[in-house]
Structure 1
Amino acid sequence: MKKNLPFCLSIVAATLLVACSPATPTKQANNNEAVSVVASAPVAEKIPYEMVMHGDTRIDSYYWMRDDKREDPKVLAHLEAENHYADAMLAGTKPLQTELFEEMKSRIKKDDDSVPTRSGSFYYSSEMRGDNEYPVYVRSSDFAGTDKQALLDANKLAEGHEYYNLGGLSASPDDKLLAYAEDTLSRRIYSIKFKDLLSGELLGDELQGTSGTTLWANDNKTVYYIKKDPQTLLGYQVFRHTLGTPQEQDELVYEESDNTFYTGISKSKDDSLIYIHHSSTETSGVSLIDANNPNAPPQAFVPREAGLEYEVAKLGDTFYVLTNLDAQNFRLMKVAADKLGDKSHWQEVIAHRPDVQLQGFELFNQHLVYQQRHNGQSELFVQKLSGGPAHKLSFNDNAYMVHLYGNNELDNPALRVYYTSMTTPGTHYDVDLNSFALNQLKQQPVLGDFDSANYASERLFVEARDGAKVPVTLVYRKDKFKKDGTNPLYQYGYGSYGATMDPGFSSNRLSLLDRGIVYAIAHIRGSEMLGRPWYEDGKKLTKKNTFNDFIDVTKALVAQGYGHKDKVVAAGGSAGGLLMGAVINQAPEHYLAVAAHVPFVDVVTTMLDESIPLTTNEYDEWGNPNDKTYYDYMLSYSPYDQVKAQAYPHLLVTTGLHDSQVQYFEPAKWVAKLREMKTDSNMLVFKTDMEAGHGGASGRFKRLHDTALEYAFFLDRLSK
């Protein structure tokens, strides 16, 4: 329940130095003119907190904003004060926010169904209706949906919750029971429930504190799930639960003792095995459990080895292994089921290529499908297991995103593919595995006067300061664009964890393009756009390449006439928020306005605190600051530590009080320090969603308000 704290709390007035100003502008008569009295920015109290490491002393004056329980009146009052101030400062954009929200909402088809995917004996899909925020999940015995059965109505389940996320739907092997998971706090901690699909009744079993994934053993009464540490939020224990018994009696099957690893679970396509996945940034492994034996212990595929990464899939008596063994860009191997435990038995299927990254693969009874990335573009190949040349699937756009989904059965005659580009709405295909013919099942409708022919996308490479060629994808509306340096430019980036932001369509983005804004994705180092080396050249002690690349892309796009030097805005979230923070410390003069969403900005302090959720798993990404080399390097770019007395762009900062990935107090402290240090009069607003977490608001329409806020903020600044 949201706590409605008054804007000014007398109980904390003596300790919390927050300017008590009107929550919204008021009007005063002055010579018959209305004059707005703007709220004063909140000023946070400074309480010095000393931190000493490697002989270096740092003073954090805003450390007091950390409240792990999220119930300290002083902290909550400050966040509410910031929210009121943001509302006041953005009051003039409210009509534009409403206009943008309605505009974006009007492009969404209200009655919309997903494409059914086969799993076992049924085809599963979801249905959106009217103004509902959430779907209804259904299944049918055929693709056409002739005997549709409603499984869950997420709208009813979400009633009474400010936030709701439904995940982990999993039917039992006999199709009579359904497991599903609920998160009502946005901390990514789920409760698992079970529904009898014949009677419609809920079973008495409820599993608390889980990751949300449920896997069924083949006896229809045993399930596997992962329990999370409530403090660090790491999923580290795999339990086996028997329906009808209390959770306290569940059997601990596996416990991860190394807190730098994530734990995941999945099931083989032939349903014979439960996989336990052990994943850190630079090492991974798999353990196997016999799904036909409810008492089976896990067996390591091969002993875990630092630096060795692999994933497996089973076909008959053979395992296929995607691995970095002697292959920086990965290769595909195979091994007989009776040769497990020793990687010397692995045999090569697809060799390593230094200029091509092997990204993933999918197995069918007669076919191998694999995905690779060459020169920054994903490619799909279909290979008959009996031999012969691999066939490359062709697509029309020069830059696009393609991925596989819903290929749950080994005997599928077709490959399910999702395809999109900056100008092509999301399109679903079934690809015949023998003829390679593409059967379009659905293209996401965009209501209104949308015509993809009105837009153009470009793909180019920009030379960074060290000579590296950075890929960039651009999209703009043809009749609004002139390559003469007059258009506003919106630049997006992420650049961490090897996450590659492939160019995809966004109907929301049309609201920018139709107003003449050029939209650019900078595929900077730290992603895997140019393969694994591109990622490794943008993490740990090379992390600054990520920030330099982003700035160099901005400068090059302006120089080449894609954007006006005084009309560049930029946005990023989470690790992309760290990117924004580092960029505006280093080169604020290149950006008119910046949006940093759920930003990871207090790098050193967070990475030194193993009690903060997910910290330990990040050491191989950022480095471990307990080592002085990493401490010094991280400190040199950490946005919070590097805030200085200088002019900054207009800033919009957002967070969620219950964020499980980046704790709310990181951006809260950052904003307070920026207010203290910055020398400009530019706008700095900070919004905390008091009900949401890392992903923002739930619901298909509610989250549009967040997008409308960012777009209105940028458009308002660009109009000045």
Structure 2
Amino acid sequence: MKLLTLFMGMQLGLSAQALANTPPQPPIAEVRPYTVSSAHGERQDPYYWLRDDSRSNPEVIAYLEAENSYYQAYQEPYSALVEELTAELIGRIQQDDSTVPYVIGDYLYSSRVEAGKEYAIYVRTPVAGGEEEIILDVNTLAAGHAYFQVANWSVSPDQNKLAYLEDTSGRRQYQLRVKDLTTGALLPDTMTGLSSSLAWSADSQHLFVVENDPVTLLSTKVYRHQLGSAPEQRALVYQEQDNSFYMGVGNTRDRNFVVIGVSSTVSDEVRVLDARQPKGEFQLIAPRQRDFKYSVDHNAGRWIINTDWDAPNYRLMTVAHTKIGNREHWQELLAHDEQVFVQSFVAFDNYLAINERSNGLRRIRFLSWDKPEESHFVESDEPAYVMWFSANPETNSNWLRYGYTSLSTPASVYEVHMATGERRLLKEAEIPGGFDRSNYRTERVWVPVAGEVTIPVSLLYHKDFKQNGSAALYQMAYGSYGISMDPGFNANILSLVDRGFVYAIAHIRGGQEMGRQWYEDGKLLNKHNTFTDYIAVTDYLVKQQYVAGDKVFGMGGSAGGLLMGAVANMAPEKYLGLVAHVPFVDVVTTMLDESLPLTTNEYDEWGNPNEKQYYDYMLSYSPYDQVRKQAYPALFVTTGFHDSQVQYFEPAKWVAKLRTMNTSNQPILFRTTMEAGHGGRSGRFARVGQTAEEYAFILDLLQRQQP
């Protein structure tokens, strides 16, 4: 109780100090000896006690609340700016909006949001004409919950039932619900502790779901549930024994098959089942093998396969359904190209569309099955852009629907006729609040680093920007898992750009912007490249006078938060402030603990610390372990108490250690959202409030720097 009393007094003190207009004092976490043991050495972790898997320890909760109180007291002097930014960001949200309808069977499906409401409403109308039907109003479902998410939903083949998966904590542990669309009633069929994937049988009487391990949260078992039966009568149809694999279930686009996919960083395996025979046996497309990845879809009796087999940037293959089980039967459809990374594909009855990366940009091309040697690119009106597949549920269409955006073009939905090339704009996101794209300029620069490597960087700035070394910089990146940070439109960032900032997306190694090797060069024993790339981009933008060296801010989340932690340790003097959202900062301790979610799945991303070379290498950059006595920049760190991806105690421990080692007078702020998980708050307006807090933190720091 001594610690709890200390925190209670601290919170009261913070309030008094705020009223007296004196700087609040941050909480200092108690040091408690704890040894983290491994085969390669022992490490002391004095803040390990902040880990509470039950999330009920009053001392831990008191500490987090004390941190929140300190943050609120620090923010109080610029709280009006937070309110101003919140109103500004909300002002760019189209209050009443809807998606472009798409056809599935006899209905047109779409969703909409309404003024003042946080969540989407999913609707459908008969293709033949008739009244709109609300199939799911998430606002109604979310009533009474501090957090609510519908992670996935799927209409049955007979279109009379809707299955969906909901989460009320942010932990990403979902509960199955099934709604009878003919009566509007919820059926008694429900299960808990599931992942977010599901699939239907062709008779609309069976659902396939994935159960998570209750401790590690790994997806481990696939069940078949017959509607109307008790949950305990569900049938186990597959169990994954290797805890380094993720697992999901779904239907092919033509709905002819149920697909179980298991995936690790370097290996995939797919099993398929005729959806007309839900109680049949799943068949392998091809057995798993290390350093062999593939994904599939089905069309017209054949499987289309995207694979890295003898093709680092992937190629497309095909095989008849009657010959699955051995990849030696696969036939090449699209050859490997060292300069082009094949991202994904959509197979139609008459055409094949391919989403690929070339020179760091995502583009789309398509070909006809009659003349596969001839392909055509979807045109773009800008030199730098992003294209991706939109909703294309019907395989018999000759129209391909795709999304398009750039740093200055709001997200748009187009369709292109694959026979004639005709393009039609179906919808461009409306940005209220006076947005005018002519006020902004975009640029792509290439930053040289070691050897012949150059890092692409996407820039956005106001038309009045002068390249004279006076602007502030907001630089973001991710750089892990092969996830690419595409230069898409972000209405929120206009609040900084309109205030004179340069917005930079650093496409650093560890992503996949420049192909598969770009990813390989930023993981495992190459991970330091991710951090040095980011710092090199900062140096370049300062040297080329895009920005001022004393007005530099960085932001990253999750693995991007790891990036921020590494940068803070390696080059603190180059940044005025860093923002780390839900940061993965305690790399070695987490990767040694197989009871934590994601650990075993990610040995091929970070390395297995049970092997000495990886232990030593991870230790060399782990932000928590590398904190040392030095002057750190200002830090704004966030987490979600129920985060299942990066546990809240990682950033909590990191901040506690930083507080004792930081020799600068810059603030270190830690904000825990007690009712959310990895993705933050669930409502569209609530999320905007979090962004406003981040931007206000940055702008206040900048203001304090002014003479």
Contact 1:465 1:552 in 2 (8 A): no
Q: 1:27 to 1:536 in 2, by over 3 A?
A: closer
2:97 matches 1:105: no
**1:56 maps to which of 37, 41, 47:** 41
Contact 1:192 1:212 in 2 (8 A): no
**1:420 maps to which of 394, 397, 405:** 405
**2:646 maps to which of 662, 673, 679:** 662
Q: Equivalences for 1:422-501 in 2 at 5 Å?
A: 422-479=407-464, 481-501=465-485
Contact 2:161 2:180 in 1 (8 A): yes
Cα deviation for residue 693 of structure 1 reads 0.3
What's 1:314 paired with? Answer: 298
Deviation sequence 1:24-70 (CA, Å, 0-9, x none): 35477xxxxxx512321101010111123234221000000000010
What's 1:262 paired with? Answer: 246
Cα separation, 2, equivalents of 1:676 and 1:19: 17
Cα separation, 1, equivalents of 2:15 and 2:477: 33
Which deviates the most, 667-676 or 384-393?
Answer: 384-393
Contact 1:39 1:89 in 2 (8 A): yes
Opposite residue 534 of structure 2, the aligned amino acid is F
Cα deviation for residue 21 of structure 1 reads 5.0
2:281 matches 1:297: yes
Cα separation, 2, equivalents of 1:146 and 1:116: 15
Secondary structure of the 1:386 match is coil
Aligned length: 703
Cα deviation for residue 413 of structure 1 reads 2.5
Q: Equivalences for 1:213-362 in 2 at 5 Å?
A: 213-362=197-346
Which deviates the most, 379-388 or 619-628?
Answer: 379-388
Cα separation, 2, equivalents of 1:110 and 1:504: 21
**1:700 maps to which of 676, 684, 687:** 684
**1:598 maps to which of 578, 582, 585:** 582
What's 2:611 paired with? Answer: 627
**2:160 maps to which of 165, 173, 176:** 176
Cα separation, 2, equivalents of 1:235 and 1:93: 44
Cα separation, 2, equivalents of 1:460 and 1:238: 47
**1:89 maps to which of 63, 66, 74:** 74
2:101 matches 1:119: no
What's 2:169 paired with? Answer: 185
Contact 1:18 1:45 in 2 (8 A): no
Q: When the two structures are superposed, what TM-score results if normalisation uses the length of structure 2? A: 0.98
Cα separation, 2, equivalents of 1:454 and 1:96: 24
Cα separation, 2, equivalents of 1:426 and 1:119: 23
Cα separation, 1, equivalents of 2:98 and 2:11: 49
2:4 matches 1:12: yes
Secondary structure of the 1:641 match is helix
What's 1:409 paired with? Answer: 394
Deviation sequence 1:221-251 (CA, Å, 0-9, x none): 1110111112111111110001111111100
**1:22 maps to which of 13, 20, 29:** 13
What's 2:27 paired with? Answer: 42
Pairwise CA RMSD of aligned residues?
Answer: 1.5
Contact 2:174 2:193 in 1 (8 A): yes
Taking every aligned residue pair, what percent have the same amino acid on both sides?
Answer: 48
Contact 2:351 2:398 in 1 (8 A): no
Which deviates the most, 367-376 or 574-583?
Answer: 367-376
Q: 1:463 to 1:262 in 2, by over 3 A?
A: same
Cα deviation for residue 658 of structure 1 reads 0.2
Cα deviation for residue 436 of structure 1 reads 1.6
Cα separation, 1, equivalents of 2:248 and 2:654: 33
Deviation sequence 1:563-601 (CA, Å, 0-9, x none): 100000000000000000000100001000000000000
2:55 matches 1:70: yes
What's 1:364 paired with? Answer: 348
2:132 matches 1:148: yes
Contact 1:593 1:650 in 2 (8 A): yes
What's 1:391 paired with? Answer: 376
Contact 1:21 1:39 in 2 (8 A): no
Q: 1:55 to 1:287 in 2, by over 3 A?
A: closer
Compare the two structures and name the one with the higher helix fraction. Answer: 2
Cα separation, 1, equivalents of 2:8 and 2:313: 54
Cα deviation for residue 10 of structure 1 reads 5.5
Q: 1:55 to 1:265 in 2, by over 3 A?
A: closer
Cα separation, 1, equivalents of 2:40 and 2:387: 50
2:693 matches 1:709: yes
Cα separation, 2, equivalents of 1:377 and 1:456: 18
Opposite residue 24 of structure 1, the aligned amino acid is S
Secondary structure of the 2:447 match is strand
Opposite residue 126 of structure 2, the aligned amino acid is S
Contact 1:527 1:535 in 2 (8 A): yes
Q: 1:608 to 1:261 in 2, by over 3 A?
A: same
Opposite residue 601 of structure 2, the aligned amino acid is N
Q: Equivalences for 1:476-555 in 2 at 5 Å?
A: 476-479=461-464, 481-555=465-539
Cα separation, 1, equivalents of 2:246 and 2:213: 11
Opposite residue 309 of structure 2, the aligned amino acid is L
Q: 1:90 to 1:467 in 2, by over 3 A?
A: farther
Q: 1:386 to 1:498 in 2, by over 3 A?
A: same
Q: 1:160 to 1:20 in 2, by over 3 A?
A: closer
What's 1:3 paired with? Answer: none
Opposite residue 608 of structure 2, the aligned amino acid is N
Cα deviation for residue 460 of structure 1 reads 1.2
Opposite residue 565 of structure 1, the aligned amino acid is G
Contact 1:138 1:149 in 2 (8 A): yes
